[in-house]
Structure 1
Amino acid sequence: MAVEWGKKREAEIEAGPELLFKRGKVKMMTLSEAMRKYLNETLGAGRSKKMGLRFLMEFPIGGIGIDKLKRSDFAEHVMQRRRGIPELDIAPIAASTALQELQYIRSVLKHAFYVWGLEIGWQELDFAANGLKRSNMVAKSAIRDRLPTTEELQTLTTYFLRQWQSRKSSIPMHLIMWLAIYTSRRQDEICRLLFDDWHKNDCTRPVRDLKIRTAAQGIIRSLIFCLWLCRSLTSCRRNRSGSVCLPTKASPTALYRATENRFPPLGRGRARFLELKTCASTIYGTRLLPVWLKTASRFRKCNG
């Protein structure tokens, strides 16, 4: 066995004499391994980026060495993600999501180059991204250039109120949508509000596990009409147990579906829960109070 190995090695050296002068090459990590190491070392990565990278680890591109990645690998990955994988219940993604995934991968490659000192580049990724943009396989997110009008919000509130009263929906969206407007919180953050976190002395309520972690954004300073909202949501629990403020079925996914798929009453196609949250960050939000007071009055009459 040793003799055979020696002969084989002699043949390799004879074919490539430079092997005698080269140091042993370090085996390069795969993209999945690089992503895992990147997540362990970086503290500033947002929750969406962390979840996105963990998800990308499971795709075929994750098994390729980071020094072997070609533009064709990135293109194949994007086309696979755009088509979806029905057999694995992985739905197709939008062009903007595909571009975001390429940006996640680029950040890992740059970190490996600048921090770990690996001799790799990301030019192949940039070439692939440019080509995919030309074919509309990846694109920047569409810019929202408008907010819901007062009439649209009134229509939405009335629609959700009727859904709740007729028991067609177990989620009091007519209240939750206004809580989103006047607290400027995402759907998952609203779903994590707890009863025990309410501070009556200064009318504040901390929000757990924020997507954007800053001290100022970790506190909800409730306005007077927000107090009524919280009390109304408490009564809407219909004797359900637990410490969460919202009804049991009011999960982030349920709120997303309620606002993504039930906006046809507005007659303007799809809208987003984020549009409700954005209202709070504008002066426009203060002009919606008459709409809410009108709805609150109707809700009181319907519930005695």
Structure 2
Amino acid sequence: MSDTATTQDLDSRLEKHRTELTGYCYRMLGSAFEAEDAVQDTMVRAWRSFDKFEGRSSLRSWLYRIATNVCLDMLNAGNRRARPMDLSEATPVSQAKLNSRPEVTWLEPVPDGRVLPSVVDPAETAVERETIRLAFVAALQHLPPKQRAVLILREVLAWKASEVAELLETTVASVNSALQRARATIAESQPASTDASDPLDEEQKALLERYVAAFEGYDMKALTALLHEDATLSMPPYDLWLRGHDDIVGWMLGVGEVCRGSRLLPTVANGTPAFAHYHPTPDGDGYTPWALMVIEIEEGKVRGISSFLDTERWFPLFDLPARLGKDGSPA
């Protein structure tokens, strides 16, 4: 076999693991961009040291070992990604101020296609979606890095304790102890269980259609009818977040009034429904990006709205149009 053929074969073998590795690194790091950087670093390290790969474990296990070490190195800086509600109490709308924090502060959204490999088993798909939800990934950030790796490998990826022990170069007893502590911490943070995106669910589809109609029509009565009483609204990179109908409506009819006349384009993020939010242009000739809006649904109503405002980062990542025309269609 020629060197070119060997190179192409190795490329193919490594690349088929890229999506699942990105999902693993995203759960570890809480950042879509850092996850992709970590996987790229993993692939480069694997390429450079492939001649040392002895085949005593599978290629997949070996890649996870490299990816884990890359993530642990990145987490040594001590950064912990968070949601606004992890950093402060809800702010009454009467006291609301927009204070931005550095980008490295925030848990980031991620497109499903970047982190969810295609699997046949519906149960596996459900677990994959459940464990990339914003609330769950935020809860993972409370764990020390090695506990985080143990929990993801054991609970999400269903590795055996012996396999995790070999990957982390530790004992099965140590892995089991770390898992027990990690489970206790996750239980304390109680990440809310929200509904996954399901285009075949007629009830969810109807709810989202009503949400779009209420938001685009700026009908606050119709909008609040779709929200839980203690629904939340957050807007990274600002640390402000609001809870409850009165404060959310107060914001929407105050500072948020700039959103009147917006258009929403459906997408999916973190296993849940999402929208690309576009504002009308000053000349009325179309609509320009404003936010990536991630919607969390529970028991038939909206539990949380997370509007990520850095559209220069999110819209290209999600392959969203850079502009909508006058009629609201991609321009």
Structure 1 and Structure 2 fold alike (TM over 0.5): no
Query: Hey, which of these two has a bigger chunk of strand by percent?
Result: 2
Query: Hey, which of these two has a bigger chunk of helix by percent?
Result: 1
TM-score (norm 1): 0.31
Larger radius of gyration: 1
Structure with more relative contact order (C-alpha pairs < 8 Å, separation 6 or more): 2
TM-score (norm 2): 0.29
